[in-house]
Amino acid sequence: MDSYIVSDDLQQPQHHASGEHGHDEEGNKMFGFIVFLLSESVIFLSFFAGYIVYKTTTPNWLPVGIEGLEIKDPAINTVVLVASSFVIYFAELALKRQNIKLFRLFLLATMAMGSYFLLGQAIEWSHLEFGFTSGVFGGMFYLLTGFHGLHVFTGILLQLIIFGRSFLPGNYDTGHFGVNATSLFWHFVDVIWIVLFILIYIWQ
């Protein structure tokens, strides 16, 4: 019964009577973006689950004449991509300290490392002796690395956008949603790659 009566645990009316009720838009955007990333990760999980099932159940998993995947160059690529996650974190820190020049520098470094990764993957693709249609293995390999590569590319585009916006006056004076989201996305792309690398290259 008592629970229906005005209780003290409520916010005081004057707290929000002053117009808007303080729903912060930046917070909403960040929350929404995290929810979106969670959903996005399920696509990757679905592909990973498919990969595991296919690998464990398909007879003649590797196409005829293929021994396995070369691991050295992809490993270097992995190191670069993982390192770039730290670099973009430094960029975020620099912005927080209002050091816009350092922010741009770190951002450029991230973009360079991301591009190095993409280029490395393109070179790897061009040397491979199997294609997208070479059985389920070929399909899964190109699907996974391609879909991830698309995310890396998107990440670099986002970085380019926040880099460009840093030259517009007043853009990063208040909120940094764009920067935080880009950074989070980059970490996400990184984590996905680590799982992907283990699945495809280490577990052969």
Partner 1 sequence: MTNIPIDRLNLPVEEPQHEFPGGWKRYFSFSTDHKVIGIQYLVTAFIFFLVGGIFAMVLRGELITPEADLIDRTVYNGMFTMHGTVMLFLWTFPSLVGLANYLVPLMIGARDMAFPRLNAVAFWMVPVVGILLMSSFFVPGGPAQAGWWAYPPVSLQNPTGNLINGQVIWLLAVAISGVSSIMGAVNFVTTIVKMRAPGMGFFRMPLFVWAVFSAQIIQLFGLPALTAGAVMLLFDITVGTSFFDPSKGGNPVMFQHYFWFYSHPAVYVIILPIFGVFSEIFPVYSRKPLFGYKVVAISSLLIAVVSAIVWVHHLYVSGTPAWMRMFFMLTTMLVSVPTGIKVFAWVATIWGGKVRLNTPMLFALGGLILFVFAGIVGIMLSSVPVDVHVNNTYFVVGHFHYVLFGTVTMGVYAAIYHWFPKMTGRMYHEGWGKLHFWLTFIGTNLNFLPMHPLGLQGMLRRVSSYAPEYEGWNIVASLGAFLLGMSTLPFIFNMVVSWMQGEKAPDNPWRAIGLEWLVASPPPVENFEEIPVVISEPYGYGKSEPLIAEANTHH
Contact residues for partner 1, defined by CB under 8 A: 3-7, 10-11, 13, 15-17, 21, 23, 27-29, 31-32, 35-36, 38-40, 42-43, 45-47, 50, 53-54, 57-60, 132-133, 135-136, 138-140, 143
Among residues 76 and 131, whose Cβ is nearest to partner 1? 131
Q: How far apart are CA 56 and CA 50, in angstroms?
A: 10
Identity at 184, one-letter amino acid code = L
Give the shortest CB-200-to-partner 1 separation in angstroms.
16
Among residues 12 and 174, whose Cβ is nearest to partner 1? 12
Give the shortest CB-178-to-partner 1 separation in angstroms.
15
The SS3 assignment for 1 reads coil
Count of CB atoms within 10 A of residue 163's CB? 18
Among residues 112 and 199, whose Cβ is nearest to partner 1? 199
Among residues 54 and 201, whose Cβ is nearest to partner 1? 54
Give the shortest CB-80-to-partner 1 separation in angstroms.
28
Pick from 92, 91, 117, 139: which is nearest to 190 by CA? 117
Give the shortest CB-51-to-partner 1 separation in angstroms.
11
Give the shortest CB-11-to-partner 1 separation in angstroms.
4
Angle subtended by helix axes 177-197 and 72-96, to nearest 10:
160
Among residues 10 and 168, whose Cβ is nearest to partner 1? 10
Residue environment code for 169-203, b if the CB has 16+ CB neighbours within 10 A, otherwise e: eeebeeebebbbbbbbbbbbbbebbeebbebbbee
